[in-house]
Amino acid sequence: MYQLLLTKRYLSSKIMPLLAALAVALCTAMVIVVWSVMGGFLVMLINSGRTLAGDVSISWPITGFAYYDDLIKRLESDPTIAAATPMIDTYGLIGLPDGRTETVQVQGIDGPSFSRVTGFGDILYWRPIDRPTEKDIGKQDLRLTRHDLWGDLLKGGLNLARIERSKANPQGTERPAVVLGISVSGFNFREPWGFFPGLPMIRGESGEKKPVDIFMLPVDGSVTLNVLPMDSKGRAIEMVARTFPVANEFYSGLYEIDRKRVFVQLKALQDMLKMNRAVKIENTGGVKVSANPDEESFTSAKVVGESPARVTNVLVRGKQDVFDTRDADALATRVAQIYREFAAAHEGQVPDSTTIRIQTWADQNATMIGAVKKETALVLFIFCFVSLTAVFLVLAIFWAMVSEKTRDIGVLRAIGASRSGIAGLWVFYGLAIGLAGSLVGFVLAYSVVTNINAIHEWMGQYLKLYIWDPRVYYFSRIPSQLDPGHVVIVLLGGVLASCLGALWPAARAARMNPVEALRFE
């Protein structure tokens, strides 16, 4: 009982123990914040990747593989698979309205099925919204008004088509279109309220933003897409250019994707890359290859051969949310089994099951994910090493307090306190400091982590200090995630550090001779 009473007295009457508790609090908060941000970065990296890549990818780059419709049918008949979708993945050049030409990653997709496999439909930016975003106090977001316009853009984005209406045709007609990453054009800038206002802007020489004489690309803009078809041996044929209207823009939150990716209708990209269905037709003039066997000039001709349409990827999504590596690997194993059956049915016409690439999204980005994990471990090690200062600070303070309280220790020993009781007093004292410091550190860390983006915005607005620049980092917002397991580990570490710091002074106090302690001046 006397340990508890003395601990309470020492904590409330001395400033030095409170400084030790503050040191523990700061060290605890520092480690929790770092672990939460780095862990949140890793989780967001994986989730953002899955948003546009599905769970498993079957790929044969450049030349692609045929009969993908049959493969998709086989995949979707499996009870563990929710959906599958074809895709062409290539690189090209995009000509923008202001005369710039940029290198981009071009993906040909079927909008509806791609949305079922990925989160494509959820990341289309221009859509009607009923409520302003959290920071849009002034209701500056254009999506709050003209819901008919944004509704058309959302529909057009899902189908990768521009809907063009006229008085003669109020229902409108669809033209194949592209969906750009929100940062591809260079006209969209995030405002302090967190999102894009919808007014095309450029940055002047002095850094200020100025409006440009170009209306929103998804409303009336168009871009020129240039791609390079390859033959079956991987040899370039000729550059193909085509102008597409812009149907919508997407915002994944992953800057590298938003800056460099363009989606286009699958059939349109197949046509540009010579990967669409083609037939060999024989007539009186000889044999001719046509991509359209229904052309009027060949109605009486004889079909002597066919080249089926091809894609470079088939993306697969499982019926459960695949976050765990083991679940993703199990799904990839099942997809590989289905592909083996598919390859056997089309032997010699599709890539062999031993050479086709079947990977989870984590496998495709293993280098980047592994690097982030190693960096997280390294940063945590450094900060934990720095946090050892709390151990030595507690040790130094308690060492000084033992010297100061020598007479008190002598009195306790004289009235019957045992050596273990005296040692327990100082260890209990260290435990109290560790508990107090760890709890205060948790409250501080929780406040920082849950408001980290608001703090960053405040620093940028008033201090002109932008630590997290979306042009440099992958994400436009600082990711953070408080993991309960991580928090418990750090809090226990703070308590343990305080107890370790108290051990040596506790041993010194326990070894004191009561007679000498009472005579201490």
Are 65 and 348 in contact by the 8 Å Cβ rule? The answer is no
Are 301 and 282 in contact by the 8 Å Cβ rule? The answer is yes
Share of the chain above pLDDT 70, in %: 76
Per-residue pLDDT, 210: 53
Say yes or no to pLDDT of 52 above 60: yes
Among the residue ranges 89-98, 129-138, 323-332, the one predicted with the least confidence is 129-138
Distant-in-sequence, close-in-space partners of 342: CB < 8 Å, separation ≥ 6: 67, 70, 71, 74, 350
* DSSP assignment letter at 192: T
Average pLDDT over every residue of 178-193: 78
Per-residue pLDDT, 372: 73
Average pLDDT over every residue of 410-418: 67
Q: What is the pTM of this model?
A: 0.71
> How high is the mean pLDDT of the chain?
79
Are 2 and 412 in contact by the 8 Å Cβ rule? The answer is yes
Say yes or no to pLDDT of 293 above 70: no
Alpha-helix runs per DSSP H in 54-92: 68-76
Among the residue ranges 4-18, 244-258, 341-355, 502-516, the one predicted with the least confidence is 4-18
Higher pLDDT: 287 or 500? It is: 500
Per-residue pLDDT, 338: 96
Tell me the per-residue pLDDT of 479-495, one tens digit each, with 9 for 90 and over: 788 888 888 888 888 88
**Strand duo 286-290 + 56-59: pairing:** unpaired
**Strand duo 81-95 + 222-227: pairing:** antiparallel
Per-residue pLDDT, 333: 93
Average pLDDT over every residue of 57-69: 93
Per-residue pLDDT, 442: 93
Residue 283 tokens, joined: 């007539």
Among the residue ranges 247-261, 349-363, 436-450, 462-476, the one predicted with the least confidence is 462-476
Average pLDDT over every residue of 307-312: 91
C-alpha to C-alpha distance for 333 and 336, rounded to whole angstroms: 5
C-alpha to C-alpha distance for 402 and 428, rounded to whole angstroms: 14
Which H or E element spans position 225?
strand 222-227
Say yes or no to pLDDT of 160 above 60: yes
Tell me the per-residue pLDDT of 110-138, one tens digit each, with 9 for 90 and over: 999 999 999 899 999 888 888 877 666 66
Sign of CA dihedral 493, 498, 501, 505: negative
pLDDT band at 412 (very low <50, low <70, confident <90, very high): low
Which H or E element spans position 397?
helix 389-404
Say yes or no to pLDDT of 53 above 70: yes
Say yes or no to pLDDT of 298 above 50: no
